[in-house]
Structure 1
Amino acid sequence: MKQMTASEVETLLSGGKKLNIIDVREVDEVAAGKIPGAVNIPLGLVEFRMHELDKSEEYIMVCRSGGRSGRATQFLESYGFNVINMAGGMLAWEGKIE
């Protein structure tokens, strides 16, 4: 499983790179703040919404601490998606939130 730190993700975003970020936290967790531009697909719905994702794109998976996003990363990898887990999750995020 590929991983990236929160600071690496923040550096790419602040450098103007367009990233596909999927936040797998529950809706009420995301309401408290998410990475700007992140799309919320709660972990329990990933299996049912993966048809919305494009296998030719790269996705960065995010949750609170990295556990749920790790499970989502492994699941999507098993279906041939190019996914990276953001290690440490939002607890490690020091960038802007919306």
Structure 2
Amino acid sequence: MEDIQVEELKERLDKQESFVFIDVREEWEYEEDNLGALNIPLGTLPHQLDEINQYKNQEIIIHCRSGARSGNAKKFLETKGFSKVRNVIGGINAFRALED
């Protein structure tokens, strides 16, 4: 699936649209600033697939700080049969820059 720009993400969050939202940053990063996503750090993602397997055919939007880790998470999930995964371009940094 095509990745998602922060503008579209903000609009969808504002409208409280339904999608699976995952933050793959480390716990301490998530605690400092988060958008309300489920926190599954990239390093633990392979061990936590059971938690998200029921979402295999639903839209999943993944973000991190800048988009690099979430890009890797997207590729990994696609190899595990997740078909509708989107990476947030620019991550939370770009999202927060929208608000400035």
When you count strand as a share of all residues, which structure comes out higher?
Answer: 1
The structure richer in helix per residue is 2
Amino acid at match of 1:17: E
Q: What stretches of structure 1 move > 3 A for 4+ residues in a row?
A: none
**Partner letter of residue 58 of structure 2?**
E
Per-residue deviation, 1:56: 2.3
Within a 5 Å distance, the mapping from 1:55-66 to structure 2 comes to 55-66=56-67
Q: TM-score normalised to the size of structure 2? A: 0.87
The Cα of 1:20 is off from its aligned counterpart by 1.3
Q: Deviation of residue 2 (structure 1)?
A: 2.5
The whole-number CA distance in structure 2 between the counterparts of 1:73 and 1:7 is: 19
Structure 1 gaps of 5+ residues are none
Contact 1:24 1:42 (8 Å CA) reproduced: yes
**Correspondent of 1:87 among 86, 89, 94:** 89
TM-score (norm 1): 0.89
Give percent identity, aligned residues only. 39
Distance 1:89 1:34 in 2: 11
Q: How far did residue 57 of structure 1 move?
A: 1.8
Would you say 1:70 and 2:71 are equivalent positions? yes
For these two proteins, the number of residue pairs brought into alignment is 95
